[in-house]
């Protein structure tokens, strides 16, 4: 069994990790750190695991006898947390601290960008993973096949809507119910932090890419999920483009190409990304949907863990969507 520790155990991503790992056949939760709720029973904070994890309490220090630690303590805190983790323990960081290449080295650790559909083989041989951001995941999966063929030749326009869980569990003016309900708003227009990841990966695949990327994020009036719409110039017929996408993702178990329009509920509670492609005049339009807490965070982290420990990639992640 893979012995697992989680640091930052009270947030949404940690809660999803706990829920998924409980039913993962090859792993065991040994230690969950929360400095805000030390000594409390985990199921009193994550009430959906009542009856499944009743006797485990939050601790203030991480167990030393672990195989892997998931860092969920919040952006900017991972370096401090690593000081207490043995170099022999593998690390999967769900924060943004190590995603950019110039920041990926720390205390002898080299963090690999953990997008399995991009670099599965490298993840398999790595001990330290920087889990991608949720928007970055949805958007990169929309354009990886194009970038891999050097076909991004013009401006990329993106709009994407995320649920309130994307803002984290802590209260803020824009994530409580009375503000979100019957409401929608933009934020960080053209300046969202996940743009750094997106640009980095595109330039990794397509070194001569120099066009602008315009990204407009929206706060949606729902709890979880992301729908992203990306469009850019393409000279290729739609049927050829769809065939290219299906070929690119044919050996990746969580990305699907839909021939009909898609909606967020298709992926909620799953590790799937579903894409739908269409063309209007010379513009290729790619619609992408993911669950921001699973494929955009905790599910993808477990997918990376499976690869790191030479397990079947989908182990513990064959989940049913919550459609109604």
The residues carrying an active-site annotation are 134
Burial of residue 208 (number of CB atoms within 10 Å: 0-12, 13-18, 19+)? exposed
Structure tokens at 274: 């579903």
Radius of gyration of the chain (CA): 19
Label residues 84-112 b or e (16+ Cβ within 10 Å = b).
ebeeebbbbbbbbbbbbeeebebeebebb
Beta-bridge mates of residue 279: 284
| DSSP state letter for 218 | E
Question: Distance from CA of residue 169 to its chain's centroid?
Answer: 17
Label residues 255-280 b or e (16+ Cβ within 10 Å = b).
bbbeeeebebebbbbbbbbbbbbebe
Beta-bridge mates of residue 28: 3
Structure tokens at 258: 């839909």
Distance CA 192, CA 136 (A): 10
């Amino acid at each position: 069994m893979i012995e697992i520790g989680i640091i930052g155990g009270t947030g949404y991503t940690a809660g999803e990790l706990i829920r998924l790992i409980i039913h993962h056949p090859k792993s065991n939760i040994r230690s969950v750190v929360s400095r805000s709720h030390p000594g409390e029973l985990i199921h009193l904070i994550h009430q959906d695991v009542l009856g499944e994890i009743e006797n485990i309490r939050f601790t203030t220090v991480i167990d030393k006898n672990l195989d892997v630690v998931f860092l969920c303590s919040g952006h900017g805190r991972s370096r401090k947390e690593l000081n207490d983790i043995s170099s022999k323990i593998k690390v999967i960081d769900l924060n943004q601290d190590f995603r950019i290449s110039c920041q990926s080295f720390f205390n002898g650790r080299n963090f690999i960008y953990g997008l399995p559909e991009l670099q599965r083989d490298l993840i398999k041989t790595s001990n330290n993973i920087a889990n991608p951001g949720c928007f970055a995941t949805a958007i990169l999966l929309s354009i990886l096949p194009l970038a891999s063929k050097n076909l991004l030749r013009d401006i990329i326009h993106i709009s994407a809507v995320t649920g309130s869980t994307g803002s984290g569990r802590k209260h803020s003016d824009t994530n409580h119910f009375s503000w979100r309900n019957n409401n929608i708003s933009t934020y960080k227009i053209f300046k969202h932090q996940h743009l750094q990841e997106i640009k980095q990966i595109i330039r990794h695949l397509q070194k001569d890419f120099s066009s602008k990327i315009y990204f407009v994020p929206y706060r949606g009036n729902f709890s979880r999920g992301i729908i992203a719409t990306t469009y850019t110039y393409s000279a290729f017929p739609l049927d050829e483009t769809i065939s290219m996408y299906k070929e690119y993702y044919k050996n990746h178990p969580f990305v699907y190409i839909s021939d009909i329009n898609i909606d967020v509920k298709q992926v909620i509670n799953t590790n799937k990304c579903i894409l739908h492609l269409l063309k209007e005049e010379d513009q290729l339009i790619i619609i992408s949907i993911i669950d921001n807490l699973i494929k955009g965070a905790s599910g993808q982290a477990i997918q990376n863990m499976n690869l790191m420990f030479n397990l079947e990639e989908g182990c513990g992640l064959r989940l049913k969507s919550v459609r109604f």
